């Protein structure tokens, strides 16, 4: 890449504002800039140095705009209102539940910026989930949205099956409770039914039983077969499906239950997801990379391009973090359950570590749970919640997720607008304060072709920032170069043109990428001219705007990088 970066440095010595791009063309090449291309063609050479070939080409202005450009309505509106730099980069995931499952409510959420709809398979019926998925797809097809669908597996976890009360019950200080695996109907006072038979295995007298990461705490005073008699030592509430964990000497008792990461029910939910054409499967309670690899292999034998996201929500998954990230297509920092297994004060640093690692290894990462928890009940967030959201954006997470706020809350749309506003604001601040993150240090490409793609994207991102181009256009079949560009978190938005629907839907989760469906041809120049003309015809690009162009759509040797002044 040496000669390429040298040539780029030469260009970037000039004032880096968009308007001066045209001027630059004149100075460097002695030709009027528009409509012309200043191009860099990266070609492979034996010594793995890519020779930069500069060329100045005439662009044939094409007037036919009949072709289809699958730019979604939300991006188009945002672009008209705020321009390229105003486009939100952080993606938003919303859990769909009873509070937002009608066609009209889903449309409102889509208009308010929902990029991915999440369905938690722990709740509700198969028919209900099917109905929601079909509504989302209908909205995409009929109303021009681009909302991807994620199912989240139930997984195997010990929680409260029944606590003897209708909704929440209070455990008073010193009260004696019985935790049992015996199934019973109705309520029995001071009796809690646990969801898994072996929940008390290895537990001793004196251990602490912590409910929901600290909602209430009990001391084990007696073990009777599979059941436990406990005394409440820190009073609090027991909620439905409350999570149970055991602690000894201030440390989590790590219990290796003989439970598979994917249960029989999970597999049947996965089959359902495949048949309904979902875009993502989020795996709950992943422990190591084996389960992730297993599911990915299964999907590939079925020729399904569904992305597998691993949820980091147990201490064990933290021990095997790097392998899990490598094996998966993306990660969810599931802070809800994670906070049951690690002390709460460790959550912020663990989150930052996971987000950083994901960017290094080029996997999209979602920060989830309790972002705006108080908005389940109230129309405004707490200041602390806004600070938490902004921190995740400042860390450059790909996406933020709403859970109960959208699923059961009365202010789902408002919560979404808080996420939208807080992320746009923090993104702007980072740019204004010149807080762009350093480019990832780690080199991930193994084959020479992959290394070339990575280097082109690194140079392209640097160049996009330095030249102040309006947008980056990338033509891609499998999203590879789009994600490599996103990994650098460049200043201009990335428009990824693809003719593969699964790629379009997967890229919906990537920071700063707007996926656009477009019928790519084998002629790169034609792709470029057509897309630019189509975007221009919508009035979204104007004379003098500069677009940086990257492509991996044409067979691997022809990966290229160009700057076009419209
Ligand atoms: N499809 C649904 N039907 C009914 N209630 C739902 C549904 N989805 C979510 N909820 C409700 O919203 C709350 C929060 O949703 P969410 O799915 O994020 O729960 P969670 O417990 O954080 O996730 P997980 O079970 O994956 O750890 C749940 O406790 C549940 O009450
Ligand atoms: C989202 C999720 O599963 C959690 O936070 O536990
Ligand atoms: K789940
Ligand atoms: Mg969870």
The two beta strands, 513-517 and 494-498, are: parallel
What is the phi/psi pair of residue 334, to 5°? -90, 80
Residue 541's Cα: distance from chain center in Å?
Answer: 28
- Any ligand 1 atom below 6 A from CB of 370: no
- What pLDDT was estimated at residue 257? 66
Q: Are strands 330-334 and 148-152 parallel, antiparallel or unpaired?
A: unpaired
Tens of pLDDT, residue by residue over 161-171, are 776 667 788 99
Give the pTM: 0.86
CA 90 → CA 214, 296, 364, 408, 425, distances in Å? 31, 26, 11, 23, 11
Q: ∠187-192-196 over CA atoms, to 5°?
A: 120
**Residue nearest atom 3 in ligand 2 by C-alpha distance:** 334
Which whole-number Å values give the CA distances from 229 to 191, 222, 386, 450, 493, in the listed order?
A: 9, 5, 41, 58, 58
Whose CA is closest to atom 21 on ligand 1?
336
Q: Pull the structure tokens for residue 26.
A: 């004149």
Helix, strand, or coil (residue 445): coil
Q: DSSP class of residue 440? A: P
Predicted pLDDT of residue 207: 95
Radius of gyration of the chain, Cα coordinates, nearest whole angstrom: 26
DSSP letter (8 states) at residue 85:
G
Counting residues of the chain whose pLDDT is more than 70, the rounded percentage is 85
Task: Assess contact for 207 and 254: CB atoms under 8 A.
Answer: no
Ligand 1 atom 16, closest CA:
403
Q: Which residues of the chain have pLDDT under 50?
A: 1-66, 556-557
SS3 303: coil
- Return the bridge partners of 399, or none: 91, 366
CA distance linking residue 178 with residue 191, whole number of Å: 5
Picking from 117, 112, 498, 468, the residue whose alpha carbon sits closest to that of residue 278 is 117
CA angle 103, 105, 108 (to 5 degrees): 110
Q: How big is the chain, counted in residues? A: 566
Question: Does 368 sit in the ligand 2 pocket, CB within 6 Å?
Answer: yes
Report the candidate in 378, 376, 374, 408 with the shortest Cα–Cα distance to residue 388: 374
408 lines ligand 1 (CB under 6 A): yes
In terms of phi and psi (left: phi > 0; alpha: psi -120 to 50; beta: otherwise), the region of 191 is beta
CA dist 163 and 516 (Å) reads 49
Question: Which residues on neighbouring strands pair with residue 246, listed in sequence order?
Answer: 209
Residue 130: both structure tokens together: 């099917």
> What is the per-residue pLDDT for 559?
66
Cα 405 to middle of ligand 2, angstroms: 13
Task: Identify the pLDDT of residue 259.
Answer: 75
- Tokens linked to 483: 């994600």
Ligand 4 geometric centre to CA of 351 (Å):
15
User: E strands, 352-479, where?
Assistant: 365-368, 399-402, 471-475
Question: By C-alpha distance, which of 359, 443, 346, 349 is closest to 396?
Answer: 359
Both tokens assigned to 60: 């044939």
Q: Cα(459)–Cα(139) distance, rounded to whole angstroms?
A: 38
Is residue 510 a contact partner of residue 362, using CB atoms and an 8 Å limit? no
pLDDT of residue 508: 97
To 10 degrees, the CA torsion angle through 497, 502, 506, 507?
Answer: 0
125 exposure class (CB count in 10 Å sphere: 0-12, 13-18, 19+): exposed
Neighbours of 420 (CB within 10 A): 18
User: Ligand 2 in contact with 373 (CB < 6 A)?
Assistant: no
Q: Residue 32: in which H helix or E strand, if any?
A: none
pLDDT value at residue 399? 98
Q: Ligand 2, residue 313: give the atom nearest the CA.
A: 6
Q: How far is the CA of 455 from the centre of ligand 2 (A)?
A: 36
Which residues are CB-contacts of 41 (< 8 A; sequence separation ≥ 6)? 52, 53, 55, 560, 561, 562
Ligand 2 touching residue 333 (CB < 6 A): no
**What are the angstrom distances between the C-alpha of 273 and each of 36, 149, 150, 279?**
47, 9, 9, 9
């Amino acid at each position: 890449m040496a000669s390429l970066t040298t040539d780029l440095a030469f260009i970037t010595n000039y004032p880096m504002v968009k308007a001066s791009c045209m001027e630059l063309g004149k100075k460097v090449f002695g030709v009027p800039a528009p409509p012309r291309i200043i191009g860099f063609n990266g070609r492979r050479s034996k010594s793995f140095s890519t020779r930069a070939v500069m060329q100045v080409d005439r662009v044939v202005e094409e007037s036919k705009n009949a072709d289809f450009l699958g730019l979604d309505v939300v991006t188009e509106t945002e672009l008209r209102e705020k321009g390229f730099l105003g486009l939100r980069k952080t993606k938003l995931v919303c859990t769909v539940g009873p509070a937002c499952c009608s066609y009209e409510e889903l449309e409102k959420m889509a208009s308010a910026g929902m990029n991915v709809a999440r369905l938690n398979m722990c709740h509700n019926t198969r028919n209900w989930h099917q109905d929601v998925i079909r509504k989302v797809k209908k909205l995409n097809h009929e109303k021009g949205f681009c909302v991807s669908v994620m199912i989240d597996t139930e997984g195997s976890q010990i929680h409260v099956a029944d606590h003897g009360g209708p909704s929440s019950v209070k455990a008073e200080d010193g009260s004696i409770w019985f935790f049992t695996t015996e199934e019973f109907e109705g309520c029995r006072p001071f009796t809690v039914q646990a969801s898994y038979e072996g929940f008390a295995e290895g537990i001793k007298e004196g251990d602490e039983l912590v409910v929901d990461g600290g909602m209430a705490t009990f001391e084990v005073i007696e073990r009777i077969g599979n059941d436990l008699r406990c005394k409440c030592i820190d009073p609090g509430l027991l909620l439905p499906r409350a999570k149970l964990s055991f602690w000894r000497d201030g440390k989590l008792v790590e219990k290796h239950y003989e439970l598979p990461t994917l249960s029989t029910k999970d597999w049947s939910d996965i089959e359902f997801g495949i048949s309904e054409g979902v875009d993502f499967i989020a795996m709950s309670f992943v422990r190591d990379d084996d389960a992730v690899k297993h599911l990915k292999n299964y999907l590939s034998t079925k020729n399904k391009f569904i992305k597998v996201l691993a949820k980091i929500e147990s201490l064990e998954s933290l021990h095997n973090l790097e392998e899990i990230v490598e094996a998966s297509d993306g990660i969810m920092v599931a802070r809800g359950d994670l906070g049951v297994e690690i002390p709460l004060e460790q959550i912020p640093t663990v989150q930052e570590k996971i987000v950083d690692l994901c960017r290094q290894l080029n996997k999209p990462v979602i920060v989830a749970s309790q972002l705006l928890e108080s908005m389940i009940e109230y129309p405004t967030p707490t200041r602390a919640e806004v600070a938490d959201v902004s921190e995740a954006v400042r860390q450059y997470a790909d996406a933020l997720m709403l859970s109960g706020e959208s699923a059961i809350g009365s202010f789902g749309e408002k919560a979404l607008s808080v996420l939208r506003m807080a992320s746009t604001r923090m993104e702007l601040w980072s740019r204004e304060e010149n807080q762009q993150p350093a480019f990832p240090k780690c080199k991930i490409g193994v084959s020479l072709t992959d290394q070339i793609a990575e280097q082109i994207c690194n140079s392209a991102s640097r160049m996009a920032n330095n030249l102040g181009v309006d947008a980056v256009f990338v033509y891609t079949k499998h999203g590879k170069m789009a994600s490599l560009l996103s990994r650098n978190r460049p200043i201009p938005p990335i428009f990824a043109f693809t003719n593969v629907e699964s790629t379009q839907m997967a890229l919906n989760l990537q920071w700063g990428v707007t996926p656009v469906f477009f019928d790519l041809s084998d002629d790169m120049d034609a792709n470029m001219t057509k897309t630019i003309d189509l975007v221009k015809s919508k009035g979204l690009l104007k004379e003098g705007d500069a677009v940086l162009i990257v492509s991996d759509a044409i067979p691997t040797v022809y990966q290229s990088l160009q700057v076009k002044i419209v």
